[in-house]
Structures are given as structure tokens and as C-alpha cells.
A and B are shown apart, each in its own frame.
Chain A
């Protein structure tokens, strides 16, 4: 399959907006990941498989809430394969810390009260990181959506349900796309 360019990845997940409101681009970064570079193995089942930290800045005026989707446009039938969704994110935070709880009984970190996780491709309301087959290299698109309303959506939405719910509320979008490749079989197994 022809690999997607990073620009095409950003376009692929851009939610359609009304003609009067084109989503504004804002900055999404991470203290531990960089677009176009390998993400640390702790964000995959080769390590602790915890959610990575994200930061954002330059949100458009009028942002009231945020939503994040992590997906692999080179996997899934049909693509993309969803690794993580988290929404109902309060506008007061400037990012997500590493290690968002995967157990619903554990509280969200301070400032993220009310944030909710949707169902990933495995049907689980949690982050589950990259496990590309063999030693293939895949790209993992973190899309952050700025919304013009506090939608307070229910937990456990699918990607289609989330995109449908936020479709008319997206006023901004930021992206970053690190990649990942599993360690080859000859890798040293000592942690």
C-alpha cells in the first residue's frame, strides 16, 4: 500500500466544517516524541504501554473543550486503526500527562476531571500502543481537536461516533505524527 505523506494524514482526519468556520491550525507537541521520529517503546507493548504526553498551544479563540484521537492510517480494515481516544478534555489544560489511567476506577489526573476515553480498535476504553507487524514501520497520527462547546459526551464512543458528535464544533486542529517499528527479533531482551 502506498504510504501516506504526513500532509495527507492530517487531511485524512480533518473533520468537515461549515463554510463559515474553517478549523484553525494550532501547535501540538510532546516532550518525549517528535513528528517523523521513533516514539519511545514505553508507549508500545514492547514497553510499559502507557499513553504518551502531549502538549498544545495556540488554541483558537472560543475553544471550550478538546478531543484527541491517535490512529494508524496504515492499519485496520478499513483503516484507520484507532489506538486511543480521549475527549471531554477541559480547555484549561495545556496537554495530557504521560500514563492516563486505563482502569476506569482510577481518577483522571488533576485538571482532567471529566475527561473520558472512547473505544479503541480493540473495543477498549484506553490507550493501547503500536504493535506493527514484523519490523514494518507505521505512523501514528495524534490529532487534537479544539471544540467550540462543552459537549460532555458519554464514555466509550467509537471513532465514528466521536467524529460525528464533534463534526459541527471543530474550530481548530493540531497534529503530530511520530512513527514506530518493533524491535527486531535479535534485540537484547534485558530491560
Chain B
């Protein structure tokens, strides 16, 4: 059975992935040291809450989705500090990307997720989704470092390539503009302490931002006339 207990020291778990080269959330903080985490953002004006999309993914089977969800949840976990990548809609972002710009990566995902599970069973004696959080992290470190290659568990090339692909998409789905399907309820921007897109920053805004007191703007960049989505189908 999967370990139901959650690590109550999320800083060290996120820092673990940062130190493994995963460029964790805190490393993206503007002007902040990698080891620091954002102060809580001041209360924003009430806005209608979006709901993280649910339901089956279009490009992955139910089992593949479970494994991917468990992996994404370890990359940016939900914990005492708040929601993580899964709640931010990273899975739906990835699925949408696989239907559109990343359609060439569908097979890489399917092969990699199968190999991840195979490696987990071979080395830790259980399917990936049934491992404890610690064992999941240990498996993912091996995958990231390219060590998950023994006895032909099935990664194509280095297991690190698969890890980097999923990590990159998880980051995009968590921290990107919500127009692309992720960063639901601006969860990702809250993790970063990013106060949102602004066309103007007054001197007062700057002072408030430096004090960590600037209320966030909950808007997509594309709600501003200055930004338009280009490329792809017109």
C-alpha cells in the first residue's frame, strides 16, 4: 500500500530536488536565495476559483496517468506549505501539450512511464505508485542521474532524459501562464511569490513588493491587449 504519511518537512524535500539539479521552486524566486522560500502573499481581491481539470487524460492510459501523477506529485509536492503541481493542473497541462505542441513526445512518455514503473518494481520491489514518498524520491534520483539502466528496465537512452522531460513540463504546467492549462488558481505563481502580470509598477508597488506585501494580480498575461498568442493554428 502507498505510504499515507506525508513528509512534514517540505522545505528539505523541495530543497532535495533543487540540489539534485531539478531547479526547484525556490530557485526561481526573483531576488531570493535558493534556500529561501516566499513569505505568504497578502490577500488578493476575491476571484472566482477555477477547478483543476479532472477526468481521464487523452494521451495516456489510466495506469500511465497514475504513475505520472505520482511522479509529478514528488517533483512539486503538495504539503503543509500548500498545494503542489498536481493541484496546479500540471497533468492537464502535459496532456494538452501532448495533444498539441509536444505530440512527438507521446511515445517517450509512455515508454518512460513504463520503464519508471519497471525500474521501481525491479529495484524497490513494488510499483512506483505503491512506494513510500522516500522510496519514490530515491527512485526519481536514480532516474534523474541516469542510473536507472540496469537489466534493461526500458528507458530509451539515459533515464535522465525522461526525467528532464517530465520535470520541464511539470515546471511549465505549474508556473506558466494559466492560459496554457496549468497554474490553476495561480497556485504556481503563489509558490514562487510572483505577484502577477502588471503593465505598470509604481514606486509604491515596488516598495510593497520588496516588503512582500504587494497584493497579487490574478490575471493571465493574455488578458492584457499587449500580449497575443502567436504561432500554431491561426
Contacts and interface: CB of A to CB of B under 8 A. Distances in A.
A105 interface: yes
A45 B124 contact: no
Interface stretch (A55-63, A122-130, A136-144, A146-154): A122-130
Contact of B150 (A46, A103, A106, A124): A46
A184 B152 CA distance: 9
The residue in A45, A122, A125 that gathers the most chain B C-beta atoms within 10 A of its C-beta is A45
B134 A103 contact: yes
Contacts of B138: 48-49, 102
Interface stretch (B43-51, B81-89, B140-148, B190-198): B140-148
Given A124-B141, A191-B122, A103 B13 contact: yes
- Chief secondary structure at chain B's binding surface: helix
B144 to A, nearest CB: 9
Nearest to A188: B151
Contacts of B118: 189
A47 interface: yes
The residue in A46, A123, A125 that gathers the most chain B C-beta atoms within 10 A of its C-beta is A46
Question: What is the interface residue range for chain B against chain A?
Answer: 20 to 34
Nearest to A125: B19
A1 interface: no
B142 A49 contact: yes
A182 B150 contact: yes
B56 interface: no
B102 interface: no
A105 B142 contact: no
A45 B21 contact: no
B21 A123 contact: yes
A11 interface: no
Interface residues of A, number: 26
Interface in A160-191: 182-185, 187, 189-191
B152 A103 contact: no
Given A103-B137, A187-B151, A45 B123 contact: yes
Interface string A31-65: 00000000000001111110000000000000000
Given A105-B7, A189-B153, A45 B147 contact: yes
Interface in A99-137: 102-106, 122-126, 128, 131
Contact of B151 (A105, A124, A131, A185): A185
A18 to B, nearest CB: 36
A126 B141 CA distance: 11
Contacts of A105: 7, 9, 11-13
A123 B16 CA distance: 11
A105 to B, nearest CB: 3
A25 B15 CA distance: 38
B113 to A, nearest CB: 17
Nearest to B137: A103
B151 to A, nearest CB: 5
B121 A191 contact: yes
Contacts of A48: 123-124, 135, 138
Contact of A104 (B16, B20, B142, B148): B16
Q: Can you list the 10 inter-chain pairs with the closest CB atoms, starting with the nearest?
A: A105-B9, A105-B12, A45-B147, A46-B150, A131-B147, A45-B142, A191-B125, A187-B151, A104-B12, A183-B151
Given A49-B138, A184-B151, A187-B150, 18 more contacts: A44-B150, A45-B123, A45-B150, A48-B123, A48-B124, A49-B123, A49-B142, A102-B138, A102-B141, A105-B9, A105-B11, A105-B13, A106-B134, A128-B147, A131-B149, A189-B151, A190-B122, A191-B123
Interface of A: 44-49, 102-106, 122-126, 128, 131, 182-185, 187, 189-191
Interface of B: 7, 9, 11-13, 15-16, 19-21, 118, 121-125, 134-135, 137-138, 141-142, 145, 147-153
